[in-house]
Amino acid sequence: MSFTLIANLILVLAVLGVVILFLRRLPEVVEKEKMQEGSENNIVPFREKAAALSKKIWQNLKNGLVFVLQKIWHFMLEAKDLKQSQILATRVARFIRPAGAAVNIGMYSSLKKADRLISEGKLLEAEEVLIQVIRKNPQEYVAYEGLMKIYIKQKKHDNAIEILEFLVKHNPQNDNYFAYLGNALLSTRRFSEAADAYTKSLELNDLIPARFVNLGLSLQGAGKSEIAKENFLKAVELEPGNMQYLLILIDSMLTLGEKEEAVQKLKTALEKNPDDDSLKEKLGQLEH
């Protein structure tokens, strides 16, 4: 008898066992409910009692079924024969998940392998694994993310931009993709396009100060220093303890000819952070 046939029998018998178990206990549950009804002096109408009883019975049956299926699932994942466990996993996944949402164990294994190869610095091997995943699963966006990270590590920014433009097109609500696109565009000095990407990322999530800084840098590169300063201010407001953001703001103010305001802001910051050497050095440069 093959492993697959045994697995199928295990699944069928387990499910039938749960059904039989609850059918056997059904009279006991009904009797218990009747006793409780008597103690309540029949205050609740009969139809409401029947509905409540049916609901409880169905909930118990469903909970038991889910419990058994979870046990079978754990057994599958621990199987030593990966090929056979994939077959069983796929069949159970189809049974307990909605249509079209079945778990693809092979693809998951490939993605994990690619992550491992990237961490080991084997970027070409990881790239090939991810390309194979995309060929079989064109809508698996995690694989595209992996490729994007590989290209950024290799400083192949044009390739990374191409991948990210695909991702933002198909995932317009993902703020991270727009931020990654902004990073890649900024690295290639495509300032106006980078500013647009960061703006879209902030429209979706305006709680990340680094994005305001990067937007400001992009706007500076595009010759929009005044608007850039506003974004540096926002970053400092969101993370006032980050002295790097503050120094970027100071430089922006100096570019706009606001030296006195910059000096005053530095002094205020130094009062709150008297041991910060970077603030002392910057203030010394401005006062001499």
> What are the pLDDT digits (tens) for 17-37?
544 544 455 555 445 545 554
* pLDDT band at residue 101 under the 50/70/90 scheme: very low
Residues 63-76: tens digit of each pLDDT: 655 554 444 444 44
Q: Is residue 209 a contact partner of residue 238, using CB atoms and an 8 Å limit?
A: yes
The CATH architecture that domain 118-205 belongs to is: Alpha Horseshoe (1.25)
Give the mean pLDDT of the chain: 78
The pLDDT score that the predictor gives to residue 102 is: 47
* pLDDT band at residue 95 under the 50/70/90 scheme: very low
The pLDDT score that the predictor gives to residue 141 is: 92
The pLDDT score that the predictor gives to residue 288 is: 76
With a cut of 50, say whether residue 93 has pLDDT above it. Answer: no
Any idea which of 23-27, 144-148, 167-171, 185-189 has the lowest mean pLDDT?
23-27
The pLDDT score that the predictor gives to residue 73 is: 42
* Residue 180: its H or E element: helix 175-187
Torsion of CA 254, 260, 261, 263, to 10 degrees: 80
The pLDDT score that the predictor gives to residue 271 is: 93
Q: How far apart are CA 35 and CA 51, in angstroms?
A: 16
Residues 6+ apart with CB under 8 A from 210: 235
Domain ranges in the chain are: 118-205, 207-288
Do domains 118-205 and 207-288 share one topology? The answer is yes
Yes or no: domain 207-288 corresponds to CATH 1.25.40.10: yes
Q: What average pLDDT does this structure show over 154-163?
A: 95
Any idea which of 15-19, 97-101, 189-193, 248-252 has the lowest mean pLDDT?
97-101
Residues 165-182: tens digit of each pLDDT: 999 999 999 999 999 999
Any alpha helices (H) in 120-258, and if so which ranges?
Answer: 123-136, 141-153, 157-170, 175-187, 191-204, 209-221, 225-238, 243-255
What the block records as the tokens of 157 is 């920014």
Residues 43-52: tens digit of each pLDDT: 445 555 556 6
Any idea which of 87-101, 109-123, 138-152, 251-265 has the lowest mean pLDDT?
87-101
With a cut of 60, say whether residue 7 has pLDDT above it. Answer: no
Q: What angle do CA 100, 3, 113 make, to 5 degrees?
A: 55
pTM of the predicted protein model = 0.63
The pLDDT score that the predictor gives to residue 27 is: 54
With a cut of 50, say whether residue 2 has pLDDT above it. Answer: no
The pLDDT score that the predictor gives to residue 277 is: 93
The pLDDT score that the predictor gives to residue 76 is: 40
The pLDDT score that the predictor gives to residue 108 is: 86
The pLDDT score that the predictor gives to residue 105 is: 74
Any idea which of 89-103, 141-155, 250-264 has the lowest mean pLDDT?
89-103
The pLDDT score that the predictor gives to residue 60 is: 60
DSSP summary character for residue 188: T
Residues 231-282: tens digit of each pLDDT: 999 999 999 999 999 999 999 999 999 999 999 999 999 999 999 999 999 9
